């Protein structure tokens, strides 16, 4: 298989850079792409196509909690940009025959553009804009380990959406587990349905700086 990593490393964390053998042992080739390439591809996506994708989300029940201040709110423009990145990643997948991917947002991309959380979450879903009924595993922060884990889970489940979360804390007295992840979680996990996006939402993008 071929894994596409967009960005120089995972979350700019040097301890998260795996040796090449980490993927080679499983017969996986790692192809690296610069974030600038993804941006230029996204800029070529027609506005109308992005608009139609946004309409698809709303029509199928996703809640977009929009505001007008890009420094504190998720704006309509941010969603449209992420829809263009969504199509750019699908084009990258097609051009290079990628089987799964990961995208790094921190710490360079988010200084200039919206984070790709909504984009990645949709790609991991079966119901998505211009869908072919399949999922395309995309890990947040180009986390190679998470991407590999999600791809394995997808294959074991026969193509179902795969999630990868961080465990923030556990409260045994209340029976509460707090899972946190900056992105890539498919809308499917909101209600366990492939028929709608109800129960999922996209909120304020606090990773975007003015």
pLDDT in tens, 137-181: 999 888 888 899 999 999 999 999 998 887 778 889 988 887 766
Model pTM?
0.90
Cα(34)–Cα(147) distance, rounded to whole angstroms? 18
Structure-token pair, residue 81: 């940009």
Residue 44 pLDDT: 98
Locus of tokens 């709303």: 58
Q: Which of 164, 38, 161, 154 is nearest to 93 (CA)?
A: 38
21-55 per-position pLDDT tens digit: 678 888 899 999 999 999 999 999 999 999 999 99
């Amino acid at each position: 298989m071929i894994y596409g990593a967009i960005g120089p490393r995972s979350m700019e964390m040097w301890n998260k850079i795996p040796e090449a053998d980490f993927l080679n042992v499983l017969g996986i080739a790692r192809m690296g792409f610069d974030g600038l390439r993804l941006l230029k591809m996204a800029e070529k996506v027609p506005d109308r196509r992005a608009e139609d994708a946004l309409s698809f989300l709303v029509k199928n029940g996703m809640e977009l909690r929009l505001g007008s201040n890009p420094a504190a709110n998720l704006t309509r423009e941010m969603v449209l940009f992420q829809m263009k990145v969504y199509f750019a990643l699908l084009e990258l997948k097609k051009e290079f025959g990628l089987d799964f991917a990961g995208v790094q947002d921190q710490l360079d991309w988010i200084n200039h553009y919206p984070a790709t959380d909504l984009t990645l979450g949709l790609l991991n879903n079966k119901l998505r804009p211009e869908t072919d009924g399949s999922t395309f595993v995309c890990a947040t922060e180009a986390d190679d380990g998470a991407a590999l884990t999600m791809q394995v889970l997808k294959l074991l489940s026969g193509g179902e959406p795969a999630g990868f979360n961080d465990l923030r804390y556990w409260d045994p007295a209340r029976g509460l587990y707090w899972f946190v992840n900056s992105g890539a979680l498919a809308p499917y996990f909101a209600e366990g349905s492939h028929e709608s996006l109800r129960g999922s939402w996209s909120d304020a993008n606090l990773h975007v700086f003015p």
